[in-house]
Structure 1
Amino acid sequence: MDLLTELTDRKVLAVVRADTPDLAVACLRTLAGAGITALEVSLTTPGALDAIARARADSPPDVLIGAGTVLTAEHAELAAAAGASFAVTPGLTPGAPRSTALGLPLLCGALTPTEVLAALDAGATAVKVFPAATHGPGYLRDLLAPLPHAPLIAIGGIDADAAPRYLAAGARVVGVGSPLLGDAGRGGSLTALAERAARLLRAVGHRATPAAAR
């Protein structure tokens, strides 16, 4: 699987944080059913690895389920054992090189040009520019001026209204967390979550194909 190609095609990476593994799994299933099939479960979620393993076991192979906030080498090893499709780090954590050593595609966090280059040198499949909303879409354009081939993902504070602007600025994919999840990770309405997912997909011009129909 070429993860970068898949993410570029899907345009949206949903970032899931929840109070329990059951809630995380429910959010993952709802999002995949709504057509968002690139998903990240932050390891700050209690029982995140269990949620990843459960969702992986009952999802079609083309649903991508990654582990986020991979801080340590052990995190990377546990994520791989749980069946994660990829690892996401907030920066060049010890989990970053361990992920690549395990053959787990890495989305590595960075902000400055130096950090972007360091992440790519470390073997990152793509670089997560975080927090994107603090700097805006223009900052991605500025990064890509000297680094035109850098595969950038914009994450942090992006909602359905802003997402198209980051894609237009050159982001391969936008990562969306709390503006998409709302209160679903705390037991809120899954119907409302599915509606937000559909709105986000419409905003980025991606035709939703629910996972169950794949």
Structure 2
Amino acid sequence: MNLLKELTDRKVLAVVRADSPHLAVACVHALAEAGIGALEISLTTPGALDAIARARADSPPDVLIGAGTVLTAEHAELAAAAGASFAVTPGLTPGAARSTALGLPLLCGALTPTEVLAALDAGAAAVKVFPAATHGPVYLRDLLAPLPHAPLIAIGGIDARTAPAYLAAGALAVGIGSPLLGDAGRGGSLAGLADRAGALLHAVGAGTATPSGEAR
């Protein structure tokens, strides 16, 4: 699986944090049905590995379900065993190194030019610029000036309103957590979650495509 191509094509990575594995899986299903087919379940979610395994078993193969907040080598190993499609880290963690050693596609967190280069040297398929909103889209454009070929995904503090600016600045995709999830991860409305997903896809020009890429 070519993680960079998948994220570039889909434009949106949903970041799922929930109060239980059941709620995490419900959010994944609602998002996938709304047309968002690239998702990560953060390991900060209670029972996250169980949620990843259940969501993977219940979802079509073209729905990508990654493990987020992969901090340790054990995290990477457990995520791979649970069937995660890819790993996401906040930085150059031991989990990042173990993910690449296992052949698990890696989205590695970074902020500075040095960190971006280190993440790519470590084998990351793409670099998660985090927290993106701290410096805004102009910072992403500035990063790309000396590093024009760096595959950057903007994550952190982004919503449907600001996402297009990050894509215009050169991000290949955007990752969105709380502004998209709202209260769904705490048992709130899944219909509301689906509505927010549709609005986000419309904002970034992804329409309401299904995970297989066919327009609805």
TM-score, normalised relative to structure 2:
0.97
The whole-number CA distance in structure 1 between the counterparts of 2:206 and 2:213 is 16
Q: In structure 2, how many angstroms separate the alpha carbons of the residues matched to 1:211 and 1:37?
A: 5
Aligned to 1:150: 150
Q: Deviations over 1:93-142 (max 9, x none)?
A: 00001000000000000000000000000000000000001100000000
Deviations 1:63-119 (A, max 9, x none): 000000000000000000000000000000000010000000000000000000000
The SS at the match of 1:100 is: helix
1:197 has 2:166 as partner? no
Superposition map of 1:118-197 within 5 A: 118-197=118-197
Alignment TM-score, normalising by the size of structure 1: 0.98
| Alignment CA distance shift 1:100-1:26 (3 Å) | same
Letter aligned with residue 177 of structure 2: G
In the alignment, does 2:119 pair up with 1:98? no
After superposition, residues 1-214 of structure 1 pair within 5 angstroms as 1-211=1-211
Provide the aligned length of Structure 1 versus Structure 2. 214
3-state SS, counterpart of residue 165 of structure 1: helix
Quote the offset at 1:3 in angstroms: 1.2
Q: Are the counterparts in 1 of residues 25 and 51 from structure 2 also a CA contact under 8 Å?
A: yes
Secondary structure of 2:36's counterpart equals coil
CA contact (8 A) 1:14 1:177 kept: yes
- For structure 1, list consecutive stretches of 5 or more residues without a partner in the other structure: none
Which aligned segments of 4 or more residues in structure 1 are displaced greater than 3 angstroms?
210-214
Conserved 8 A contact 1:41-1:65: yes
- Matched-pair contact (CA < 8 Å) for 1:33–1:212: no
From the superposition, tell whether residues 86 and 212 of structure 1 become closer, same or farther in structure 2 (CA, over 3 Å): closer
Q: For structure 2, which runs of at least 5 residues remain unmatched after alignment?
A: none
Shift of 1:2: 1.2
Residues 62 and 212, structure 2, Cα contact 8 Å, conserved in 1: no
Structural RMSD (CA)? 1.2
